[in-house]
Amino acid sequence: MDVLALEGSINTVGYGLAAIGPGIGVALVFAAYIQASARQPESAGFNRTWLVLGFALVEALALFGLVLAFAIG
Amino acid sequence: MADNPDREPSDAHSSEGVAGAVLGYLLAGILVWGFLGWLAEGFLGVPAGVGIAVGMMLGAAAAIYLIMKRLGA
Amino acid sequence: MSGQLVVAQDLPWPPSVNDFYPPAVAGPWVTKFTLMVWLAVGLVIIFYMAAYRNPKLVPSKGQWLAESVYGLVRDNIAREQMGNAGIRFAPYFTVLFSFILITNFFSIVPGLQISPNSHIAFPIVLSAISYVLYLAVGVRKHGLLKYLKMSLILPGVPWPMHFLLVPIEFLQNFVVRPVTLALRLFANMFAGHLLLLVFTVGGFVMLSADNLFVQVTSVFSFAMAIVMAFFEALVAVLQAYVFVTLTANYVGTSLAEEH
């Protein structure tokens, strides 16, 4: 099959690939948060700040992909 | 938590609210500053792609700052 | 879908957006969706009227069901998200929850098999009501200027940061919130219907192929369709819950004191 003969926008494929990394990252962040607060329930409030920061940092990458998939024609 | 109706109406945000707000802030920041960067690109005549990239990173950084201020503490 | 076997040429394969436009029932103003929405409205009204027509201390089954739905919405959604101020809004949230739940469940009820919420128009109206509600509540509680200041300006940051932050806050509070509220419900119901179509119609397409192996493997497609129907039931409940929870959360942030 000639790959270059593909028609239409391939941006969705690119965004799909770009979402793999942040997907794993978000999973790691939440897994670590759950584990930490299960081991030390009293630290849940403190960990929450870092949960939000880590989630935001990781999710920003996924949203870059989302926005660029629409922005680049 | 549901079986304690006398709980103080705390200021703590619920988890659904926080996740939605983090996503919304990030998306809003990247979109609005990416768009402004794209506009600036046209007006200032910098090479294509630089403005939108700088704008998106600025937007993501501002959004993360905002998230930490609003939801982190 | 009629249950009988039909030749592959007559099947709408692959599923497309056109499958979301069933023929009008009577003229352009009465479609399947119109009838389903009226049916849902009627069901909600009749159910709550019947359940509370003659309330007893020891509830009947209908009254018990109505009370547990109301209790769930009041305690686990309204009070959880808004504190005790949320009890005032619990009746509206209960009706909203019941309506979205019933219209979502139409996607797996035999004979109806499509949810009105898989057309973007219906989620848009629902989310517009929530939008107006939380704006009106905020403006009434704080006054227009103070509400705008509260939702746009983050206290305690150096002033040059406001140029950076105010556009983001504006987009988040007045654009992203209602749009994502409508889009989430719509996308879930749309994708769910498409998924069911793929597996059921795909099963019939495989069954009418002229290859014995393909015909036998169509069993897996039908099994998958059944699994997905149960998954759809889960999604229906979850999306109704999420919609009402987020509405309550937005109204709650409008009500919150400045801090």
Q: Is C169 left (phi over 0), alpha (psi -120 to 50) or beta?
A: alpha
Greater model confidence, C242 or B46 = C242
Residues of chain B with pLDDT > 90, as a percent, come to 25
- pTM higher than 0.90: no
How confident is the model over A64-69, as a mean pLDDT? 88
- Domain ranges for chain B: 26-72
Round to whole Å and give the CA distance between C138 and A21.
Answer: 39
Contact yes or no for B29/B59 (Cβ under 8 A): yes
User: Which residues in chain B touch residue A63, judged by CB atoms under 8 angstroms apart?
Assistant: 23, 26-27, 30, 60
Contact yes or no for C82/C252 (Cβ under 8 A): yes
Residue C173 DSSP one-character state: I
How confident is the model over C148-152, as a mean pLDDT? 87
**CB burial readout C131-146, b (16+ within 10 A) else e:** bebbbebbeeebeeee
> What's the one-letter identity of residue B27?
L
| Cβ pair A56:B26 closer than 8 A | yes
Greater model confidence, C137 or A73 = C137
Residue C154 has pLDDT above 50, yes or no: yes
| Cβ pair B56:A64 closer than 8 A | yes
**Is there an interface between A and C (3+ Cβ pairs < 8 A)?**
no
Nearest CA in chain C to B30: C168
Residue B14 has pLDDT above 70, yes or no: no
User: Which residues in chain B touch residue C242, judged by CB atoms under 8 angstroms apart?
Assistant: 16
Q: What is the pLDDT of residue C5?
A: 46
| Cβ pair B34:A60 closer than 8 A | no
Residue C257 has pLDDT above 80, yes or no: no
As a three-state string, the secondary structure of A1-50 is CCHHHCCCCCHHHHHHHHHHHHHHHHHHHHHHHHHHHHHCHHHHHHHHHH
Nearest CA in chain B to C81: B14
Residue B1 has pLDDT above 80, yes or no: no
Q: What is the pLDDT of residue B15?
A: 61
Residue C86 has pLDDT above 90, yes or no: no
| Cβ pair A52:B38 closer than 8 A | no
Nearest to A55 among B22, B38, B60 (CB): B22
Nearest to B14 among C80, C85, C167 (CB): C80
| Cβ pair B26:A60 closer than 8 A | yes
Residue B71 has pLDDT above 90, yes or no: no
How confident is the model over C102-106, as a mean pLDDT? 94
Q: What is the CA radius of gyration of chain A?
A: 18
**CB burial readout C36-59, b (16+ within 10 A) else e:** bbeebeeebeebbeebeeeeeeee
Residue A10 has which token pair? 């391939």
> What's the one-letter identity of residue B33?
W
How confident is the model over A1-20, as a mean pLDDT? 79
**Is there an interface between B and A (3+ Cβ pairs < 8 A)?**
yes
Residues of chain A with pLDDT > 70, as a percent, come to 92
Contact yes or no for B34/A42 (Cβ under 8 A): no
C-contacting chains (≥3 CB pairs under 8 Å): B
How confident is the model over C53-79, as a mean pLDDT? 88
Round to whole Å and give the CA distance between A26 and A43.
Answer: 20
Contact yes or no for C175/C128 (Cβ under 8 A): no
Contact yes or no for C119/C20 (Cβ under 8 A): yes
Q: Exposed, middle or buried by CB within 10 Å (0-12, 13-18, 19+), for C179?
A: middle
Least confident of B44-48, C29-33, C83-87: B44-48
**Dihedrals phi, psi of C172, to nearest 5 degrees:** -65, -50
**Dihedrals phi, psi of C90, to nearest 5 degrees:** -60, -40
How would residue B13 be classed by pLDDT, with cut points 50, 70 and 90? low
Greater model confidence, C110 or A72 = C110
- Domain ranges for chain A: 28-73
Round to whole Å and give the CA distance between A68 and C136.
Answer: 35
| Cβ pair A71:B71 closer than 8 A | no
Q: What is the pLDDT of residue B17?
A: 66
Q: What is the pLDDT of residue C28?
A: 80
Q: What are the tens digits of pLDDT across the range A31-45?
A: 999 999 999 988 888
- Mutate which of A46, A64, A66 to disrupt the B interface (most B C-beta within 10 Å)? A64
| Cβ pair B63:A59 closer than 8 A | no
